[in-house]
């Protein structure tokens, strides 16, 4: 009993350090859940929760009856899935390449350069990309014109817009993922590489038989955890880059909720869409955590 008391006293400061975070989560994540009731009401702000008309599942039926709903869900899954795939393949490849660099100063410089875009908001990057990808004055199209190509409407063509979202998001975020895999590479046993060199294995063979198998558990973990966010295609990016011209290929669930809820003031319908997305996301995250535990031995507690 005395041992348990001493241990509890030692852990008390650590638990107190968690208190601000717990309070923030309660305020911004759990208390607002009371607003879920709006999804089942014809909510009017002046009447509040208690006096707004109860409509049951009518908001959900209305959302599912909209002609663009299925297209919006497809756009969300398509863009998000390709972002997840690119967000795994590119950082792993770059981490393997950086791991082969001999000069530490150059390796550190490259890590810094590829990590910088992660800290820039999509408000800033959106303005930059709009100028760079402009069909008339954009740098990219000017370079393409030198090789005889016609201007490409990256942000105004439905066939190009989703791919533009995927490429620009990967460019912005792959530096963060690269650091995760570089950290995994530092944990590999150097004796394995020495033994492989003695056996005559070159750098490619070492990468194929030592490096890749060594980081596979981390790759599996990151992949399974990413699957839980398949309905989050990146509101900030899409909102700052899209326009009504590319709604067909670029409109996602979050931007649909924004337009219905804030622009059109249909609060009940917007909440219904958000609740539907949250339920599906919760199920996906639960499955993904089970997969992470099953295949990567990852546990929260």
Span 185-217, pLDDT tens digits? 888 878 887 787 887 777 788 888 888 888 888
Is 205 within the bounds of a domain? yes
Is 18 within the bounds of a domain? no
For 132, the domain range is 58-296
Length of the chain: 301
| DSSP assignment letter at 151 | P
Tokens of 153: 């409407």
Report how many domains make up the chain. 1
Is 285 within the bounds of a domain? yes
Q: Band of the pLDDT at 9, cuts 50, 70, 90?
A: low
Is 213 within the bounds of a domain? yes
Q: Does 5 score more than 60 pLDDT?
A: no
What pLDDT shows up at residue 24? Answer: 92
**CA 170, CA 177: separation in Å to the nearest integer?**
10
**How much is the CA Rg of the chain, to the nearest whole Å?**
24
Inter-axis angle of helices 212-227 and 161-186, nearest 10: 130
Tokens of 68: 């663009």
CATH assignment of the domain containing 292: 1.10.3720.10
6: CB partners within 8 A, 6+ apart: none
**pLDDT, tens digit, 9 for 90 and up, residues 141-189:** 888 888 888 888 888 888 899 999 999 999 998 888 888 888 888 888 7
What pLDDT shows up at residue 299? Answer: 65
Is 223 within the bounds of a domain? yes
Is 287 within the bounds of a domain? yes
Q: Does 102 score more than 80 pLDDT?
A: no
Residue 42's beta-bridge partner residues?
53
* 203 in Cβ contact with 101 (< 8 Å): no
Alpha carbon 42 to chain centroid, angstroms: 32
**CA 226, CA 81: separation in Å to the nearest integer?**
9
Is 24 within the bounds of a domain? no
Alpha-helix runs per DSSP H in the chain: 2-25, 48-51, 58-65, 69-99, 104-115, 122-132, 139-146, 161-186, 190-198, 203-206, 212-227, 235-241, 247-250, 253-258, 267-296
Is 141 within the bounds of a domain? yes
* 227 in Cβ contact with 84 (< 8 Å): yes
**CA 301, CA 247: separation in Å to the nearest integer?**
42
**CA 64, CA 78: separation in Å to the nearest integer?**
19
Nearest to 192 by CA among 181, 183, 201, 180: 201
Tokens of 165: 């979202």
């Amino acid at each position: 009993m005395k041992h348990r008391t001493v241990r509890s006293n030692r852990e008390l400061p650590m638990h107190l350090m968690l208190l601000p975070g717990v309070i923030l989560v309660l305020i911004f994540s759990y208390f607002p859940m009371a607003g879920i009731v709006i999804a089942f009401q014809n909510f009017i702000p002046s009447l509040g929760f208690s006096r707004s008309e109860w409509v049951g599942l009518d908001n959900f039926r209305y959302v599912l009856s909209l002609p663009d709903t299925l297209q919006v869900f497809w756009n969300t899954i398509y863009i998000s899935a390709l972002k997840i795939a690119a967000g795994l393949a590119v950082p792993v490849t770059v981490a393997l390449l950086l791991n082969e660099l001999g000069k530490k100063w150059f390796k550190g410089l490259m890590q810094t350069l590829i990590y910088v875009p992660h800290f820039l908001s999509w408000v800033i990057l959106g303005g930059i990309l709009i100028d760079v990808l402009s069909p008339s004055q954009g740098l990219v199209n000017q370079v393409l014109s030198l090789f005889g190509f016609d201007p490409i409407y990256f942000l105004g063509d439905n066939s190009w817009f989703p791919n533009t979202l995927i490429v620009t998001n990967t460019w912005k975020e792959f530096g963060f993922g690269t650091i995760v895999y570089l950290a995994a590479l530092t944990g590999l046993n150097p004796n394995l590489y020495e033994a492989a060199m003695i056996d005559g294995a070159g750098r490619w063979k070492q990468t194929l038989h030592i490096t890749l198998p060594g980081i596979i558990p981390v790759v599996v973990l990151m992949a399974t955890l990413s699957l839980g966010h398949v309905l989050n295609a990146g509101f900030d990016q899409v909102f700052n880059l899209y326009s009504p011209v590319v709604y067909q290929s670029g409109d996602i669930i979050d931007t649909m909720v924004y337009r219905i809820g804030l622009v059109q003031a249909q609060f009940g319908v917007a909440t219904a869409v958000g609740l539907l997305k949250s339920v599906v996301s919760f199920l996906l995250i639960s499955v993904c955590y089970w997969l992470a535990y099953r295949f990567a031995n990852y546990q929260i507690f």
